[in-house]
Structures are given as structure tokens and as C-alpha cells.
Structure 1
Amino acid sequence: MNVINILLRRVQELAAEFIRLLPQLSIAIFVIGVTYILARFARRFAERLLGRTELRGSLVNLFETLIGVLIWVVGLLIGASIVFPGVTPANILAVLGLGSVAVGFAFKDIFENFLAGILIMLRKQMRIGDVIACEDVEGRVEMISLRDTHLRHLSGEIVIVPNAYLFKNPVTVVTQRAIRRHTVDVGVAYDVDLEAARDVILEAVKSCDSVAADQKVEVYAKEFGDSSINFLVRWWAGSKPVDAHVSRDQVVRAIKRALDDAGMEIPFPYRTLTFKEALPIKRSQAENGAENDD
């Protein structure tokens, strides 16, 4: 009987406490409703505002989410302080701060890639479809997410690279411009007139349709090779890897054909053997037998 009385008394106390908190609960529910409306309005406003910029779609969605989360956090803190007056926003923030430090240490790599992803998305130089090279990774950018970047190798494989890796190391954007400079070395024989050879090579490169006509073609005598005078040939063509292969193929074939037509030799390495002493010549048994018959 005493147990039942204690339970009834406890229920009455809880009911009285609930009735006493009804005004605060009503206000807190009203605050949460206002928070919901503000969060939706803020996200739509951010979507319209950021949609006019050149930010990537994933980055716009991130900002919308962060704005909505921030408004919800503020609204929930206000609602909790209304229902529980003893719990102030400062106390809640202190607890959240300690918890965030612990979570930060536990998920350090994830947060590092997350922040690196945001900074990479803010870059205007690296876009979807660009071919990039970073340390030992090279490929076409297919997707940039908040944690990693998907690169498609030129041989077809896809590589998932953590954003922190791309952020910490130098990245070469191969296709940042429509054209880029290409080079090839050409050797001619030592007895060839270098001025004439330079003019032949220059005209051969200019005749290729893959070479940018509005950019300068450069031919420089580079070095004395083992069996040739080497020229450095530089020209501008498409920046995509396939454009580079096509243009280099045309240039090499055009230079070879032009030098052949001009009678200028592209030498292969020569090897000269010098014998300081006369070497004895051994004759075969058949030759020796023929001499004996004579």
C-alpha cells in the first residue's frame, strides 16, 4: 500500500511539474516552429544568392546545409534555455565544445579532407573535365566531393584521391588553357649547315595543321651530341593528352620527311674502334687447304 501511495505521489508531482512547464513548452515549440520557417527561408535565399555565382553545385549545397544547421542549433539552444532555465546556452556550448574536441581528434583525417574539399571547390583553376597531375597521380577530374576527388586515368581506371592529398601537394592543371607548349629534340649530322637545317625544321613544323598558327615556333641549337648536333624544337598545340600525341606525331614525321628531302642526315650513334697493335688474322681450315692444293 505504501508503494502505491509513493507511486501516486510521484505521478502527481510529475503531472504538476508538467503543468508548470506547459507555458515554457508552448514557447519552446513556438520557437522551434519559427526556427523551421527561418531555416527553410534562409536555405532558399542562399540558393538564389549563391546560384548567381560561379561556385560548384556541391559547394552551394554545402553552404545551404551549413546555414540551415546553424539556424537549427541557435533555435534549439534558445528552446532548451526556455524549458530548462538552469541550462544556459553558455553551458550547452561548453559541453558541445568539449565534445567537438574529442570528435575532432577521433575523426582528424575526415575533417582534414572535408576542409580541403571546401578549399579545392573554391579554386577556379581546377574544374570538372580538367586533366591534372599531382605527384604520382594523373588523370581527368570527374567529380569533386567534400571528402575526395575522382580522377579517371588516361588508360581508363578511376582513382579516388583524398582531398587533403591534392591540397598539400603541387597540382599541375594540364588543360587549364586550350593550348600548351610541346617540345621534341632533333639531331642532324655534324657536316650539315646548321642555319639551313634550322630553316628546314622550322618550315616543317609550321606546315603541320595541329600546330597553333598564331603562336611562335622555336628552334634552338641545344647541344653537341655524341654523333649529332641536337636542336630543341618547341611549338604550341592542344593541351589535351590526345592532342599532344597527335601533334607530336605530325611534327616528328614532317621533320623527318623535310630533312630527307633536303638531303640532311639524322645520324644514329657511330662507334669507332681503334686498334693500337696489328691483330693476327686466322684463316679457316678450308682456306688453308685451298692454298696447299695450289
Structure 2
Amino acid sequence: MELTPLTDLRESLDGMATGFFKSLPNLVLAIVVLVAIMLVAHIIRAIVSAAMKKANVRDALRTLAQNLIGIAAWIVGVAIALTVLLPSISPADIIAGLGLTSVAIGFAFKDVFENFLAGVIILSREKMRIGDMIECEDVYGRVENILIRETHVRETDGELVIVPNSFLFKNPVTIETDHALKRQELVVGVDYDTNMPEARDALKGALEACESVSSERDAEVQCVSFGGSSIDFRLLWWTKSQPADQRGSYDEVAFAVKQALDDAGITIPFPQSTLSFRPEAMPLRLQDSGMSDTDSPESGDTKGG
């Protein structure tokens, strides 16, 4: 019997239809299993999110947990649905396929996963909150947002820097606003004729009169060096750690110190130079060893016509 292309196509369609209707119960069961797993995952996500919110966990970390639960649910649901739909595929085959796929994806997206894992670790820390002022290598500014793969830092000039989380994880990060207070210092020089106890009392009084100086921590005034033209005192005090508060406190203390020293009649000296006319301080005239004083050009004696 001669077979035509139309006959071949009809037989193929009949075979596909027969196979579809034969596997239809398995398909329905696989869909039911997948939907059930998704519902269970949704309940788990709601419970985990509520617990993390009650524990005051960051929003970004709660979102990460919800996404991970959703991804895990899809992987498990699809794997079980495949074993139901295609009985010839065993769970061992699915696990082996996932292992090879994970290795390939890991090599292809190494940097992405590196930033992802660094973001998970950073989000799980208690330090470096949104609003903190940080410094890391050449990056200095306020943290505006912490995402899974990157952190947004607004620099002091208004520019936004998007920093990969792996950069913040690998390099030392200075968090200036980790504590509510931060220490400031100012070095002031006074004249050598000044009575040192009077100068120290005047400087202490200036610090105590400033509103920006915190009373929670003791302020200090210490003599630190005898400079070239002054006796130097270092003022140490604590104020709010925000950069604007730091600048404002420094300005207030500087004005108060100058006023206090003026009121006490204490001079803040400036660098001075001393001119000496002693004989040993006069410069020596260089002469050629082969010339006498009369032969030197300075003697005014000339040879020749």
C-alpha cells in the first residue's frame, strides 16, 4: 500500500491526539500539584514576612526572603510536576540536570551571584543602615538604598553613586554615623608669654558655653606641643555625628574660642621670622683657590689694555 504525505500527517496527528488524551489525567494532576505547592508557598511567605516585620527586619531583606521562597517553590513544584507528567523521568535525573545547570549558570553569572551574596550578608547586618554616612575607598556619602546587588550612595555634592555590594563587602567601610555622637577636635596656639592655666581655663569655658557640645561626654583641653611660635592646645569635644552638625559645631567652637581668648587678653600668635646680624650669621664669599684677593673680579683690578 502506497502512503502519501497526507496520510503520514494524518497518522502523526492521530498518534499525538491519542498520546495527549492518554496523558491528560497526568497533566491535570501535575497542574493540581503545581498550584497546591504555589498556595503553600504563598502561605509560608506571608508567615515569614509577618514574623520578619515583627522583628523589625529591613524591607529589602523581607523582600529577599519572599523571593527566595517563591523561587524554591517554583523549582520544587516544576520538578514534582515533571515526575507526575512524565513517569519515565526520575527525581535523580531532575537533580542531576539542576546540578549541571547551576554550575553553568554559576560560571556565566559569577559577578552577579557575588554581588547577590554580598547583598544578602550586608542586609543581614545590623550596621550600615539607610541614612548612614559612609566612606569606602573613594566613595563618601549618605546611604539612600540597599538592594540585593547594589547600594545607592548620595555623595556630598549631590551625585548618586551606585556601588556593587561586593565592593562594600571586600573593602573596609567607615560608618561615620554609627553612633549618635562623634568626637571633634581643634588645635589652638597661644603666645609663649601666656599663663598656661589661665589659657586652659579660658578654652574650657569656651567649650562649656557652646550649645552644640554634648554634655553626655566630657570635653578635654590638653597641651600637646611647644610650636615654633606658640604653645599648642588641643580641644576635644563630642557633638552629633551628622556632617552638618559636625560643621556647625566646629564653627561655633572656633568663634567661642577666639572670643574667650580675646576677653582674657590672650594672644593667638602667627608664624614669625627672626633676622640675625651676628658675624657668624653673615654669608661667606666664595673665592677661587687659584685667585688672590687682588685677582678677583671684586677687587676692581683689571689686566690688559
Relative to the length of structure 1, the TM-score reads 0.89
**In 1, Cα distance between the equivalents of 2:138 and 2:10?**
73
2:101 to 92, 99, 104: 99
Match of 1:53 in 2: 55
How far did residue 276 of structure 1 move?
Answer: 4.0
1:146 to 142, 145, 148: 148
- Bigger shift: residues 236-245 or 23-32: 23-32
Is the contact between residue 149 and residue 161 of structure 1 (CA under 8 Å) also seen in structure 2? Answer: yes
Deviation track 1:208-262 (CA, whole Å, cap 9, x = no partner) reads: 1111123211011111211111111100111111111111111111111111221
How far did residue 205 of structure 1 move?
Answer: 0.9
**In 1, Cα distance between the equivalents of 2:67 and 2:44?**
10
**In 1, Cα distance between the equivalents of 2:105 and 2:142?**
34
* 1:126 and 2:133 are equivalent in the alignment: no
Is the contact between residue 182 and residue 244 of structure 1 (CA under 8 Å) also seen in structure 2? Answer: yes
1:1-294 equivalences under 5 Å are: 1-3=2-4, 4-277=6-279
How far did residue 98 of structure 1 move?
Answer: 1.6
What is the RMSD of the two structures over their aligned residues, measured on CA atoms?
1.7
**In 1, Cα distance between the equivalents of 2:133 and 2:218?**
25
Task: Give the gaps of 5 or more residues in structure 1.
Answer: 280-294
1:212 counterpart SS class: coil
- Bigger shift: residues 11-20 or 124-133: 11-20
Paired amino acid for 1:183: E
Corresponding pairs, count: 279
How far did residue 146 of structure 1 move?
Answer: 1.0
Deviation track 1:18-65 (CA, whole Å, cap 9, x = no partner) reads: 233223222212211212221222222222222212211121111111
How far did residue 12 of structure 1 move?
Answer: 3.0
**In 1, Cα distance between the equivalents of 2:95 and 2:122?**
30
Is the contact between residue 42 and residue 68 of structure 1 (CA under 8 Å) also seen in structure 2? Answer: no
Paired amino acid for 2:19: E
**In 2, Cα distance between the equivalents of 1:162 and 1:55?**
22
How far did residue 13 of structure 1 move?
Answer: 2.7
Task: Give the gaps of 5 or more residues in structure 2.
Answer: 284-305
- Bigger shift: residues 28-37 or 201-210: 28-37
**In 2, Cα distance between the equivalents of 1:170 and 1:186?**
32
**In 1, Cα distance between the equivalents of 2:180 and 2:46?**
36
1:2 counterpart SS class: coil
1:236 counterpart SS class: strand
- Bigger shift: residues 156-165 or 239-248: 156-165
**In 1, Cα distance between the equivalents of 2:245 and 2:237?**
13
Is the contact between residue 55 and residue 121 of structure 1 (CA under 8 Å) also seen in structure 2? Answer: no
